[in-house]
Amino acid sequence: MIIMEEHKEAVIRKIRAYGIIKDPELLERPDEPVPLWVLLEALLHVIDRLEPSDDRPYD
């Protein structure tokens, strides 16, 4: 399925661009499960971007 592979590649590019997951080994294996802590860390990173803490500027 070429369409699915293109979709996965687009998702990986966005994850890299946003810096949500920085471990290149994880990004090279998009079909393998990741540990729960990796998923939670990525989620926390997104939350921090959406709701910055009071001690950081909004830029």
Chunked mean pLDDT (size 10), the chain, 59 residues: 82 90 87 92 90 66
**Distance (Å, whole) CA 28 – CA 2:** 17
**Distance (Å, whole) CA 19 – CA 46:** 9
The pLDDT score that the predictor gives to residue 10 is 93
The pLDDT score that the predictor gives to residue 59 is 54
Kindly calculate the radius of gyration of the chain based on its CA atoms and give it in whole angstroms.
14
Token pair 């009071």 is found at 54
Length of the chain: 59
The pLDDT score that the predictor gives to residue 41 is 93
Q: What is the pTM of this model?
A: 0.65
Say if residues 42 and 20 touch (Cβ distance below 8 Å): yes
